[in-house]
Structure 1
Amino acid sequence: MMQQFESAQKLGKDQMDAALRSFGSVSKGAQAIATELADYSKRSFEQGTATLEKLVGARSVEKAMEIQSEYIKTSYEALVAESTKLGALYSDLAKEVFKPYEGVFANAKAATEANISALNAQVAKTAA
């Protein structure tokens, strides 16, 4: 009986350790995502400002349309690239968050199976 208690206590400790490691991964991942979003916002603002300056200096409607078309094209390409990059960051974050629990789940399964076997042996011994 004492062995099952110690096993449950160790399992609880392992789960707490995994939760703390997982929280650290969330913190690092969220920081990386926030940094990437801030950088993208800055680049996007700078690109918009530069385009506005070009539009103000345009001498014809055709030139203004050309500048605007180029801005739309490059903005769209940047958005697609940024979305891909953010998707990869979120994917990496999900993998890192659950990585600490892989060992805990395996240990919990093994401990549960061992406890069930021990209890079955005690029941069989008591019944005999």
Structure 2
Amino acid sequence: MKNIKKKELVYDGFEDDFYQLNHLIQCPYYDEDMSVSVTQLRDLDSLDEEVTQQVINKIKGLTLNLGTRYSYDGLSVMCDIQKSKKENMQLLGLFAIGERQPARYQIIVLGIFRINL
């Protein structure tokens, strides 16, 4: 599993656009895009345990809160899986999302990984 996207802030603004917009993330070198909606993101525990462990090992700064939730710099860590343009591949996006300050919301791409099916 290879991380094909470096950490990047993709949204920093108000709550309305945070929930309503689809955020387009470009993956350089692979001609792939991911369209991300905050309302469609899932918890890391929805992934296979082996995949979760591989992803956690590749991202620095993740912490486990209360034994069930991961966070990054005070924001919740969520994921999304989308079909890749290449056959038998999926894109797994890892995101830190949440309210950074009162009325200031952020989405940070922590990494995008290619997964073989």
* TM-score bracket relative to the smaller structure: under 0.3
Whose helix fraction is larger, Structure 1's or Structure 2's? 1
Greater Rg over alpha carbons, structure: 1
TM-score, scaled to structure 1: 0.20
